[in-house]
Chain A
Amino acid sequence: MIFGAVEFPPIENVIEWPAFFFKNSDYFAFNKIALIYFLGMAIPAVVFLLANRGDALVPRGFRTAAEGIVEFVDGQIVQAAIGPDGRKYMPLLTSLFLFIFIGNITEVIPFFQMPGNARMAGPLVLALIVYVTWISVGIKHNGLGYIKEVLVPPGVPKPLYVLVTPIEFLSNFLIRPFSHAVRLFANMLAGHILLVTFSVLCISVFSASLLFIVEPFTFAGLLAFTAFEVGVSLIQAFVFTILTAVYIGMALHPAH
């Protein structure tokens, strides 16, 4: 795709990833995105395994990192959104935070330079797992009445239920998982396209002699947006995880 003198890569470059392994399998073709998801599992696992070998009384190195992550998830997400009851959801929330963060940060790591969550598969899977989880938590703690509690909220004048109940059904059971997934996916895809745009601009103006004078600005823009995307990676992981905690908290205490 060419705009003026600048040639942008086609959208297929973001979508079609050739498989490294199981090339002929429809379900298990292992491509770069799958590798990123694998790292999203492997890196936290290795860090936590190494952390567990360290001195438990005086934490250093990996243990400091692991405990920092646990304290962050506990303090900023679990306690803030659920409260003391939420400790049992720490494994889910910690896994979500780390899996998403690693899936995002590959956007600025050489060789990868593609966020795994800029593909819909990861966010969709995570949003569906969260969707099943909070509905299960709601039914487990409040019985089947939980569904009624969500669809027919107390304190609303009865005639308004004609409007409120369909709206609650749509927002809670249909739109919520979709928005949960799309928020992450769209942010990461947009960030990736932004970095691609500035990278292409840098390369193009570097090769175009007349436009070379704007090279510092485009390069500065690329650096700035790269730093910005590091922040976005962290924030999006935090937002997805805290929304999960909020949904679980609402399922635990629907009256609140």
Chain B
Amino acid sequence: MNLMLVLAAEDAGDPPNPVIPEINEIVWAAIFFIALWTLMKYVLLPPITRAMENRANTIQGDRDAADAATASLGSTRRDYEGSLADARNEANEIIAAARASADERRSALQAEADAEIAELRRSAQSEIDQARADALSGMSGDVATLAVSAAGAVLGRSLDAGAQQSVIDQALAAE
């Protein structure tokens, strides 16, 4: 029944009042809205909100894992770079030590070689000197004989080689 008729606030000839609600429409509006509200509360909305929360948590979890992986990557990279720097320092130290050792060895070998060369040189010089002395001493007899012969030929008489030996020795020594 129309509430308008129940309330009967107006004359029969007046147009109906659109503000006055119909009782049957009130009933159906209440039934359908309360049904929707109940369904929404217990059946329709919880799975949607739960799925949205789960997705948000999953995304957040993945994001956190990605952040952790990024942080771990940074740490690993720092460790790697530290190890690389240590290795580089160690290699430089080894190279420097090897270089120093090589320099030292080279100096030692150089000194040994110089000493050996000096020794060889001294030895050679003494041999030269000895050979020279030997040559001079071997040559002095022949030179004396030759000089006495030549002098005898010039003078036209035979000279005594033994008597002239001292003069020849003095001349050779002067050379």
0/1 string, A7-44, CB within 8 A of B gives 1: 00011101110010000011111110110011011001
Contact B48 A70 (CB under 8 A): yes
Contact residues in A for B108 (Cβ distance below 8 Å): none
Flag if A15 contacts B29 (CB, 8 Å).
Answer: no
Interface-central residue, A37, A66, A90, by most chain B CB under 10 Å: A37
Contacts of B132 in A (CB 8 A): none
B21 at the interface (CB under 8 A from A): yes
B122-159 interface mask toward A, CB cutoff 8 Å, 1 = contact, 0 = none? 00000000000000000000000000000000000000
Q: Does A174 contact B (CB under 8 A)?
A: no
Asked whether, in the complex, the Cβ of B37 is within 8 Å of the Cβ of A91, the reply is yes
Distance of A46 Cα from B126 Cα, bound (Å): 124
Provide the bound-state CA to CA distance between A40 and B33, in Å.
8
Q: Which residue of A lies closest to B16 (CB)?
A: A15
**Contact mask for chain A residues 169-200; partner B; CB cutoff 8 A; 1 contact, 0 none:** 00000000000001001000100000000000
- Do the beta carbons of A27 and B33 come within 8 Å of each other? no
Q: Which of B15, B29, B36 contacts A44 (CB 8 A)?
A: B36
A124 touches B21 (CB 8 A): yes
Interface residue? A121 (CB, 8 A)? yes
Contact A98 to B21, CB < 8 A, known contacts A12-B16, A67-B48: no
Asked if residues A120 and B18 are in contact (CB atoms below 8 Å), the reply is yes
- The answer to whether A34 touches B47, judged by C-beta atoms less than 8 angstroms apart, is no
CB distance from A222 to the nearest CB of B (A): 22
Q: Are A11 and B25 in contact (CB under 8 A)?
A: no
Q: In the complex, which residue of chain B has the Cβ closest to the Cβ of A92?
A: B37
Give complex CA distance A70, B52 in Å. 10
- Which B residues are in CB contact (< 8 Å) with A15? 16, 18
Instruction: Tell whether, in the assembled complex, residue B55 and residue A90 are in contact, meaning their CB atoms are under 8 Å apart.
Output: no
Residues A45 and B32 in contact in the complex (CB < 8 Å), given A31-B25, A33-B25, A122-B25:
no
A34–B32 alpha-carbon span in the complex (Å): 9
B interface, by DSSP: helix, strand, loop or mixed? helix
**CB of B1, distance to nearest CB on chain A (Å):** 4
Q: Which of B51-81 contact A (CB under 8 A)?
A: 51-52, 54-55, 58
Asked if B55 and A56 make an inter-chain contact with CB atoms under 8 angstroms apart, the answer reads: yes
Could you say which residues of chain B place their CB within 8 Å of the CB of A71?
Answer: 52
Count of A interface residues, CB-CB < 8 Å: 51
Residues 65-92 of A contacting B (Cβ, < 8 Å): 66-67, 70-71, 90-92
Q: In the complex the two chains form, what is the Cα distance from A63 to B39 in whole Å?
A: 17
> Which A-chain residue is minimally distant from B25 (CB atoms)?
A121
If A26-B23, A52-B48, A56-B55 touch, whether A122 touches B29 (CB-CB below 8 Å) is yes
Q: Is the CB of A121 within 8 A of B35?
A: no
Interface residues of chain A, those whose CB is within 8 Å of chain B, are: 10-12, 14-16, 19, 25-31, 33-34, 37-38, 40-41, 44-45, 48-49, 51-52, 56-57, 63, 66-67, 70-71, 90-92, 94-95, 98-99, 119-122, 124-126, 129, 182, 185, 189
By Cβ-Cβ distance, the 5 closest A-B pairs, closest first, are A121-B25, A48-B44, A91-B41, A56-B51, A34-B28
**Given A48-B40, A52-B48, A121-B29, 19 more pairs with CB closer than 8 A:** A12-B16, A26-B23, A30-B24, A34-B25, A37-B33, A38-B28, A48-B45, A70-B49, A92-B37, A94-B45, A95-B37, A95-B40, A119-B18, A121-B22, A122-B25, A124-B21, A125-B29, A129-B34, A182-B19
Residue contacts A-B, CB under 8 angstroms, 20 given: A15-B16, A37-B33, A40-B32, A41-B32, A41-B35, A45-B39, A48-B45, A49-B43, A51-B48, A56-B55, A63-B51, A70-B45, A90-B49, A91-B45, A119-B22, A120-B18, A124-B21, A126-B29, A129-B30, A129-B34
